[in-house]
Amino acid sequence: MKKTYIGGCHCGAVRFEADIDLGQGTFRCNCTICTTTRFWPPIVKPDSFRLLAGESELTEYLFNTKKNRHLFCKHCGVRSFGIGNSPESGGLSYGVSVTCLENVEPQELIDAPITYVDGRHNNWDLAPPETRHL
C-alpha cells in the first residue's frame, strides 16, 4: 500500500514528498556510484514524487551513459534522490533513498523486499554473485 513519505537531505536544504509502496520492493546495485554512496532506493514514477524545496541547492553528476541524473545537495553532499530515464524500465523515474525518509519506521525497511542488480557489469536483470556488502 502506498504511503506518503517526507524526506530530504541532511542539512534540510532539499525537501521532498514521495508516494511509495515499500512492499513493492527496493533496489540495491553494485555499480560504482550506488556502492560509493550506499544508495538504496525504491523506484517511483514522476507523479509520485514532489520536490518541495531546494531545487537550486542541488548539483548534478552525470557519468557513463549520462542518462541518469545523480543529484546531490550542494551543502551537505547527501544524495536523497536521483532521476533515471530508461525506456527498458518504463521511462522517467525517481529513485528515492530510503535513508532520507523521515517518517519511515525501521520495520517498514526490514520488511521491504530488496532486488539486487549487477549494474557494475550492466546485468540489470541479474543479481551480482555477492550481495552481503550491499
Could you tell me what percent of the chain has a pLDDT over 90? 87
Instruction: Extract the residue ranges of the chain whose pLDDT is less than 50.
Output: none
CB of 80 within 8 A of CB of 97?
yes
Q: Can you tell me which residue has the cell 556488502? A: 133
> What pLDDT score does 47 carry?
97
pLDDT at 90: 77
In this predicted structure, what is the pLDDT of residue 67?
83
All domains of the chain, ordered by start, with CATH? 3-121 (2.170.150.70)
Give residue 130's pLDDT. 94
d(CA 96, CA 5): 10
Query: Residue 102: is it exposed, middle or buried by C-beta count within 10 angstroms (0-12/13-18/19+)?
Result: exposed
* pTM for the structure as a whole: 0.91
User: What pLDDT, on a 0 to 100 scale, did the predictor assign at position 95?
Assistant: 96
